[in-house]
Structure 1
Amino acid sequence: MLPLTLPAHCRLLPLLALVLFTRPAWAQHPTLSRDTSFTVYSAYSKAKKQYPDISVARPPMPAAVRARTDIVYCSPNGHSLKLDVFYPKPKRRQQLPAVLLVHGGGWRSGDRSQHVPLAQQLAARGFVAVTAEYRLSPEAPYPAAVQDLKAALRWMRANARSYALDTARIAVWGFSAGGQLAALVGTTNQDPLYEAGTCFRSRSSSVQAIIDVDGILAFIHPESGEGDDSRSLSAATQWLGSSKQARPELWQQASALSHLGPATPPILFINSGVDRMHAGRDDARRQLAALGIYSEAQRFPDAPHPFPLFNPWFTPTLEYTVAFLRRVFGQP
């Protein structure tokens, strides 16, 4: 486990109260009651009981990073989905690799602000980093979230010139449910099931790399804990709109493990010590190896599930991400 040398909590609490209780305006839909069961603050409050020395990762935005926020990228069924772009000033004629970051929250909660700190740091390292909103399960079940994220990727290509974005080097990064979505988005390149709506349909939604941070690869798997509806409907059942007993084929379809093939891009897995959060990872790595596709796994065995949101794991998560992307994309 990494050393936990951090500021005392008493100096952090006023800042946390200001930052974490602020409700991001862009994440709201005018006709829905927002599910706030997963926020950075709620995750921090729970995790600090076991890890009292952690702190929320909120490094200052690097001076060289530019930002454009609250950009509407698509409006399915009247919901204006928004994204934020963080990018460095490119050198002349430079084309920068890009990363789409996908938040977690059990497919029903969370918002894109969770990964703004990571996006800013990626931009400082020479990447165009995009944090995107997507429709959650209270509004639209599977496969809407996947379709939204693919629309965001098409938007990125349609607007590549504005950010010196290299359309041949785009990765998708996701945490928790966002990791599951990132893996599914990246393993279904050119699959018509997940292409919907009219937003930038002339552009490709394919990605050239995947970073899955504690997101499951298979819903129906010996390692998976998803789909236990014995006490209440599980998050996965709510998102998929049916129990795994009633429609197992749907649960398999929504699993990235079911879509691996010769066209699958390289994948980085970054995991906590919670084994069920990477169900299917080892099977996926064996299949990728057999296909000659590069994969890499990094693990923080003593870390809680929401580790990428907190110090001391934020910086090594960033470093693993940057090192992997530079390996598969080359230097920005």
Structure 2
Amino acid sequence: MRFFLSFLGRRGWLVGSLLGILAGPALAQQPAPTPRDTSFTTHSAYVKAKKQHPTITVARPAVPKTIRTAPNQTYCTLPGGRALQLDVFYPKAKRRQPYPAVLIVHGGGWRSGERSQHVPLAQQLAARGYVAVTAEYRLSTEAPYPAAVQDLKTALRWLRANARTYRVDTTKVAIWGFSAGGQLATLVGTTAGDPLFEAGSCYRSRSSAVQAIIDADGTLAFIHPESGEGDDRKGPSAATLWFGASKTEKPELWQQAAPLNHVSAQTPPILFINSGVARMHAGRDDMRRQLDALGIYSEVQSFPEAPHPFPLFNPWFEPTLLYTVNFLNKVFGR
């Protein structure tokens, strides 16, 4: 034993060197983290909104005791080693019948925000019998349009691939999004099977289709009389940074990303939940007219007095949750 320990002592440098050589290439392959844009956080939104709404509070309901959480699940590893992650919130109760699911998409102008902002919503949905997933996606600081759309479709495919683990009813999957996340959610929901947005090798045998959409203050059209997106007079707008070009330079991209331009007979039912900021639901009424003509159910719930980030704050969090649950229960026949 003394000889063995002595050998290790004399040869420790060799072992360390070998480990360094072996680990070196792997470490070199890890992608450098992208600097995070923190311009939109729950706190910054609260400070701004409180100036006009002094009685509001950040929505932090108690964590239900009837749910489980599976945090930081990698739903796809991109070339270069970038791991995209999500969190799953699901009912503890085991039953024969699977649960419907909701993918939740955060906002932040396609360049800020994070999935943790909607953990309270996900927890409350799980307590009401839904498998709720909060997913990250690549922001414009990391990758331009359409990467975010492709990521979210991959998250939906992951959800179906893991349906057995979380007891998901793959025929009843919804997507919910706020602000830029609402635009993304509606674009994801209206482009089922579009090869432009189905990218990468992760779970390609699975479907990314959804059976319901909830759009909370997400624009439906970029080049539209009601739209305020793309005003670059004070520097590149959030949308311009996402597209990598202004609406005059590449209008085809801005039109391509507008959910209004993808309505078809395959579009699922949609719930629009809106604040009093009209430009945040540009194209909504036009979209509803198209849906009506196709016989597709849609619904609008509004908070005329509310600021744009209303889903994050009381008194609007609870009614937003209830509107969401009531709509999904109706669409999914629960």
TM-score where L is the length of structure 1: 0.90
Match of 1:33 among 26, 32, 35: 35
Pairs within 5 Å for 1:84-95:
84-95=87-98
SS of aligned partner of 2:240: helix
Pairs within 5 Å for 1:57-76:
57-76=59-78
Match of 2:316 among 310, 313, 323: 313
Q: Distance in 1 between matches of 2:143 and 2:106?
A: 16
Contact 1:307 1:313 in 2 (8 A): yes
Cα shift readout 1:195-249 (whole Å, capped 9, x = no counterpart): 0000000100000000000000000000000001111000000001111001111
User: How far did residue 286 of structure 1 move?
Assistant: 0.4
Instruction: Provide the residue aligned with 2:48 in structure 1.
Output: 46
User: How far did residue 255 of structure 1 move?
Assistant: 0.3
Q: Based on CA coordinates, which of the two structures has the bigger radius of gyration?
A: 2
Q: Distance in 2 between matches of 1:60 and 1:161?
A: 28
Q: Is 1:287 matched with 2:308?
A: no
Unpaired segments of 5 or more residues in structure 1?
1-28
**Paired amino acid for 1:95:** P
Contact 1:102 1:179 in 2 (8 A): yes
Instruction: Provide the residue aligned with 1:8 in structure 2.
Output: none
SS of aligned partner of 1:85: strand
Pairs within 5 Å for 1:210-221:
210-221=213-224
Q: Percent of counterpart pairs with the same letter?
A: 73
Contact 2:66 2:93 in 1 (8 A): no
Q: Distance in 2 between matches of 1:242 and 1:83?
A: 30
Pairs within 5 Å for 1:85-124:
85-124=88-127
Instruction: Provide the residue aligned with 2:156 in structure 1.
Output: 153
User: How far did residue 30 of structure 1 move?
Assistant: 4.3
Instruction: Provide the residue aligned with 2:23 in structure 1.
Output: none
User: How far did residue 90 of structure 1 move?
Assistant: 3.9
List, as ranges, runs of 4+ consecutive aligned residues in structure 1 with deviation greater than 4 Å: none
Over the aligned positions, Cα root-mean-square deviation in angstroms equals 0.8
Match of 1:173 among 172, 176, 192: 176
Q: Distance in 2 between matches of 1:330 and 1:291?
A: 21
Contact 2:59 2:314 in 1 (8 A): yes
Q: How many residues align?
A: 303
Q: Distance in 2 between matches of 1:330 and 1:69?
A: 29
Q: Distance in 2 between matches of 1:36 and 1:203?
A: 34
SS of aligned partner of 1:330: coil
Contact 1:172 1:209 in 2 (8 A): yes
Q: Distance in 1 between matches of 2:316 and 2:247?
A: 34
Q: Which has the higher contact order (CA 8 A, sep 6+)?
A: 1
Instruction: Provide the residue aligned with 2:132 in structure 1.
Output: 129
Q: Is 1:206 matched with 2:209?
A: yes
Cα shift readout 1:277-321 (whole Å, capped 9, x = no counterpart): 000000000000000000000000000000000000000000000
Instruction: Provide the residue aligned with 1:229 in structure 2.
Output: 232
Q: Is 1:299 matched with 2:302?
A: yes
**Paired amino acid for 2:143:** A
Q: Distance in 1 between matches of 2:129 and 2:218?
A: 26
**Paired amino acid for 1:196:** A
Q: Distance in 1 between matches of 2:189 and 2:293?
A: 18
SS of aligned partner of 2:196: helix
Contact 1:90 1:96 in 2 (8 A): no
User: How far did residue 89 of structure 1 move?
Assistant: 2.4
User: How far did residue 93 of structure 1 move?
Assistant: 1.1
**Paired amino acid for 1:140:** A
Instruction: Provide the residue aligned with 1:265 in structure 2.
Output: 268
